[in-house]
């Protein structure tokens, strides 16, 4: 049982948001000064909380035939959501983690530039409906890059789900018109 009670007692989105807040560790000045990192490790390690998060995100991904989890914490939740939906899961990786050839997309995030990649061979995404999963929506750079990457691969991003949204950083506007479903805000 979680600190906030069993999964069955999560009667509303507000209850889930409270559970997420209670199990999120806030780390100041990481990975660089001025950034407050949201560590969801305690949330994901809690059985009931993971089930509640997975169930809620799966409920927002209707119509997708593939779930794509974004490196690295999005992998954890994405795989669980895909299992619940009965779909496959695609790992969208940070640059340099996959063997070539790859499709890559560069972007800017709140603490520097980055690049994400997917395999260019052995994976046919043409015509697929893909639901994107990430842990935190901050500036929106990562999700926007993932949506562009899916489009370049011939797939269509149908929406995105995140565990925590940081509305003050404007990420939702950066990914528009992609629908984003967040389970909590910080």
Tell me which residues are annotated as active site. 73, 110
Of 181, 134, 136, 178, nearest to 157 by C-alpha is 178
CB atoms within 10 A of CB 124: 10
* b/e map 66-76, b = 16+ CB within 10 Å: bbbbbbebbbb
Read off the tokens for 25.
């560790």
d(CA 102, CA 104): 6
Residue 25 sits at φ, ψ, to 5 deg, of: -90, 130
């Amino acid at each position: 049982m979680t600190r906030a009670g069993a999964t069955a007692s999560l009667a509303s989105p507000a209850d889930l948001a409270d559970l997420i807040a209670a199990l999120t560790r806030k780390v100041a000045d990481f990975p660089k000064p001025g950034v407050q990192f949201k560590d969801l490790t305690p949330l994901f390690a809690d059985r009931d909380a993971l089930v509640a998060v997975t169930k809620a995100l799966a409920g927002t991904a209707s119509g997708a035939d593939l779930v794509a989890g974004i490196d690295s914490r999005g992998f954890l939740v994405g795989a669980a959501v895909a299992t619940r939906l009965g779909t496959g899961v695609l790992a969208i990786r940070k640059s340099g983690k996959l063997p070539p050839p790859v499709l890559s997309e560069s972007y800017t995030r709140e603490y520097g530039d980055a690049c994400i990649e997917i395999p260019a061979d052995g994976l046919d995404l043409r015509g697929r409906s893909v639901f994107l999963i990430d842990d935190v929506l901050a500036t929106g750079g990562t999700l926007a890059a993932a949506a562009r990457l899916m489009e370049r691969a011939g797939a269509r991003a149908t929406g995105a789900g995140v565990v925590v949204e940081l509305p003050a950083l404007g990420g939702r506007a950066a990914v528009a018109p992609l629908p984003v479903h967040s389970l909590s805000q910080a």
